[in-house]
Copies of this chain bind each other. A is one copy, B any other.
Amino acid sequence: MLNRRITLQARPTGIPGPEHFAQDETPAGVPEAGEVLVETMYISIDPAMRSWIAQSSGYTRGVEIGAVMRAGGIGRVLTSRAEGFAPGDLVQGRTGWQSHPILRGRETQKLDLSVGSLEDWMGPLGTSALTAYFGLRDIGALKPGETLLVSAAAGGVGQLAAQIGLIEACHVVGIAGGPDKCRFLNETLGLHGAIDYKAENDLTGAIRRECTDGVDVYFDNVGGPTLDAALANLRTDARVAMCGRISQTVAPEPYGIRNLGMTGGRRITLRNFLVFDYHDRYPEARAWLAARIREGRLRQRLHIVEGLENAPRALGMLFTGENTGKLIVKAAD
């Protein structure tokens, strides 16, 4: 059995793409004690991947040149030498960009299809949903009736953060690029307001227009000028959950945040966080998320790219804003 692999060949300075990766086939591995051989079905494509392949990474050891690209995914167990796993089991783990990874059992989770479908596990029960959940609840401390502003609100994490805000009875305004994404926010998700940042000359004014009482919680997925515009609209006691900064990941120079000083005396809090720190509380979050999915109040639009070989191109789409929804690659049926 052959393992199709995509390996890192060069570290991008801008938007990553096929030119930074190579593809090959090698014989699939044989699991040792405690391991399983898996056939990859879905692979998650996430902004954090850009950091993993950057020259210097803020928060995790990078992927080495020549190594299989790191990724989370879902697959089917083919051979098991790990207790609790049998052939045919559907599992979630760090598959990487390869068709037949060997995974360690203790780093792999069996999917409970009574909790959600396979697509739910890639979407509204997946890591981006957990990120939205802990970012809003623990970092944002969102309360009913507050005003929540979400950037990249049509993206993987953003659309879940926005929906959780609606479920929590907040006034929810999303920022996204282009009329299609804003229509999705207004009509499909039912947000109170959507701001097309590409169509606005004055983002600070646009936020003021949609958040007339100011912003209590800003869930930031983009950083840069959007963060600056949000800072200018914060209320007293506001919280900023600094989740991502995709606008800055591929910027040639970091943008300088100028409005931090405007918050003087408003008792604001900015915090960043890593979803992995909440690992012990994933079951709590998934129980809450699964209940909301069953009620029909939480969904995630998936943007599915077919074929493992297209993963490098898919990664680049995150940074050009081409994806509408949580981006995943389908590697096998």
Contact = CB atoms under 8 A, between A and B. Distances in A.
A272 B268 contact: yes
Copies of this chain, tallied across the complex: 2
B257 A58 contact: no
A280 to B, nearest CB: 15
Contacts of A258: 253-257
Nearest to A244: B264
A243 to B, nearest CB: 9
A198 interface: no
Nearest to A58: B264
B58 A263 contact: yes
A296 interface: no
Contacts of A73: none
A269 interface: yes
A283 interface: no
A262 B267 CA distance: 23
Contact of A265 (B59, B262, B263, B270): B59
Nearest to A271: B269
A291 B117 CA distance: 63
Nearest to A236: B59
A227 B242 CA distance: 18
A255 B228 CA distance: 12
B269 A270 contact: yes
Interface of A: 51, 58-60, 223, 227, 242, 245, 248, 253-274, 277
- When A and B form their complex, which 5 residue pairs have the shortest distance between CB atoms, in order from nearest? A256-B256, A59-B265, A58-B264, A257-B257, A254-B258
25 contacts: A58-B261, A58-B263, A58-B264, A58-B266, A59-B264, A59-B265, A59-B266, A60-B265, A242-B260, A245-B264, A253-B258, A254-B261, A255-B258, A256-B256, A256-B257, A256-B258, A257-B257, A257-B258, A257-B260, A260-B270, A267-B277, A268-B271, A269-B269, A269-B270, A270-B271
